[in-house]
Structure 1
Amino acid sequence: MEEVEVVVAHHERATLRVGDVFLKIDADQTRTDVEVEAMAMAPIPTPEVLWRKPPVLALAALPGTALGRLGEPSTASPAAWAATGAAARMLHDAPLPPWPGRSLDEIASLLDGECEWLVTSGVLPADLVTRNRRVAEAALRPWTPVFTHGDLQITHVFIDGDEITGVIDWSEASQGDALYDLATLTLGHEEHLGDVVAGYGTDVDLDVIRAWWSLRSLLAVRWLVEHGFDPSSPGCEVDVLRSRM
């Protein structure tokens, strides 16, 4: 009998692995709707949908291994990072999904609220929050919407050698800023930004990517704390914020 592996679990959703099948259980079926539709639209490899019986979505496992993990050195080759950048460009050049993402005003409001909470709760020093809030301002500018993955973490990209075998976890896909995807991909792995940009194949504003590193990390800390994760682990979000100092 195959063992059941708990990949991730918190009060919003859980992912289990049984052999070569991933079972995703989500309390919010609109996220699953987005995931299934986005995977069908994406021009890059995605997991095969085996079946769906709400609240469970069954997906086939992708071959290969993750590009890396936040807080750990990536053993993937520069060519694999570049291939990931090329896949991101292919996605961003695809037709837009029909649903919008967060507006600039929504993101700015969220950022203000999270920064206030981080300071008043004492989770982070005020000077660290203030400095990163200033850095994050560069991301809060108009952009041309593209088809974004929305959560393009390195754990969501699978490779075999130098080739991309697929991208998972599409529930945050939407119209959005291309540089947000590139920033999410390289968060905590600044040393691979050059490889990703080379694969992406066009000039990008590196200051905006760095701004998204600060913004994403500021927005993530409370969620991580409240869901049982540690954003202060070496190489993770708090270290990213400190590196901006």
Structure 2
Amino acid sequence: MDEVEVVVAHQERATLRVGDVFLKVDADPARTEAELEAMTLAPVPTPEVLWCRPSVLALAALPGVALGRLGEPSTASAAAWAAAGAVLRVLHDAPLPPWSGASLDEKAASLDAECTWLLTNDVLPAELVTRNRELAESALRPWTPVFMHGDLQVAHVFVEGDEITGILDWSEAGRGSAMYDLSSLTLGHPEHVADVVDGYGADAVDLDVVRAWWSLRSLTAIRWLVEHGFDPAAPGCEIDVLKAQL
């Protein structure tokens, strides 16, 4: 008999696995609807949708394994990382979805609020926050919007051999920055940036902006991670990313 595996669970969302079926439960039904629409529109491999009810989405398991995990060395080949870059380029070249993502002003406000929280609560040394904020602000420049996944952490990309079998978790998809997706994919895995760029196309990548988004994504994630039971201070995770930026 299959057991129920809790993949991830916090106050906003939970993902359960029963055999080859994943059940995604979201407190906000609008996110479930947005995820379903994004997977329908995205011209890249996504999980098969088995059924959808208010707040619950049932998906078939993807073949293969995650491209990697934050804080752990990736065992995937350079060709697999390049394939991830190529698939991401297909997504970014696709027609824009009909809804927007976070605006430049919203990203700037989030950075300001989270840096203030980090300093006020002595979560990180002031120099570490200040220097990374300077780097992060260089990402806050106007961008040409693309079809952005929005949460393309490496664990959301599945690979079998050198082939991408699918991309998970589309609830943050919308119009946004291509460099943000590239930074999310390579966060904590700088040794694979060149492979991803090979697949994506060097002509369309600004590595300085990608690195700037590493700082911004890490700074703005720490409070949420702490409040939802995750550890951004684990080896190789967000706080180590900030330290490596210096």
TM-score normalised by length of structure 2: 0.99
Q: Does 1:237 align with 2:227?
A: no
1:211 and 2:212 matched:
yes
* Residue in 2 that maps onto 1:29: 29
2: distance between equivalents of 1:40 and 1:162?
24
Shift of 1:202: 3.4
Work out the CA distance in 2 between the residues paired with 1:152 and 1:16: 20
Helix, strand or coil at the partner of 1:166? strand
CA offset at residue 53 of structure 1?
1.6
Equivalent residue runs for 1:57-96 within 5 Å: 57-96=57-96
Query: Which one-letter code corresponds to 1:216 in the other structure?
Result: R
Distance 1:28 1:128 in 2: 35
Paired position in structure 1 for 2:174: 174
CA distance in 2, matches of 1:237, 1:161: 28
Does residue 52 of structure 1 match 2:43?
Answer: no
Moved over 3 A (4+): none
Task: Quote the offset at 1:66 in angstroms.
Answer: 0.3
**What residue is the counterpart of 1:41 in the other structure?**
41
Shift of 1:231: 0.1
Identity %: 75
* TM-superposed deviation, 1:52: 1.1
* TM-fit CA distance, 1:201: 1.6
> What secondary structure does 1:139 align onto?
coil
Secondary structure of the 2:152 match is coil
CA distance, structure 2, for counterparts of residue 123 and residue 7 of structure 1: 28
1:66-145 equivalent positions in 2, closer than 5 A: 66-145=66-145
What amino acid is aligned across from residue 199 of structure 1 in structure 2?
Answer: G
Please give the secondary structure, in 1, of the residue aligned with 2:138.
helix
Distance 2:53 2:195 in 1: 40
CA deviation map 1:89-137 (0-9, x unaligned): 0000000000011111111011000000000011111111000000011
Partners of 1:222 and 1:124 lie apart in 2 by: 11
TM-score, normalized by length of structure 1?
0.99
Aligned length, in residue pairs: 245
Whichever residue aligns with residue 141 of structure 1, its letter is: R
- SS for the counterpart of 2:184 is helix
Q: Secondary structure at the match of 1:6?
A: strand
Give the 3-state SS of the residue equivalent to 1:133 in structure 2: helix
Q: Which runs of 5+ in 1 are unaligned?
A: none
Equivalent residue, structure 1, for 2:156: 156
What residue number does 1:9 align with? 9
- Contiguous gaps of at least 5 residues in structure 2: none
Distance 1:34 1:106 in 2: 19
Q: Deviations over 1:171-223 (max 9, x none)?
A: 00000000000000000000000000000023211100000000000000000
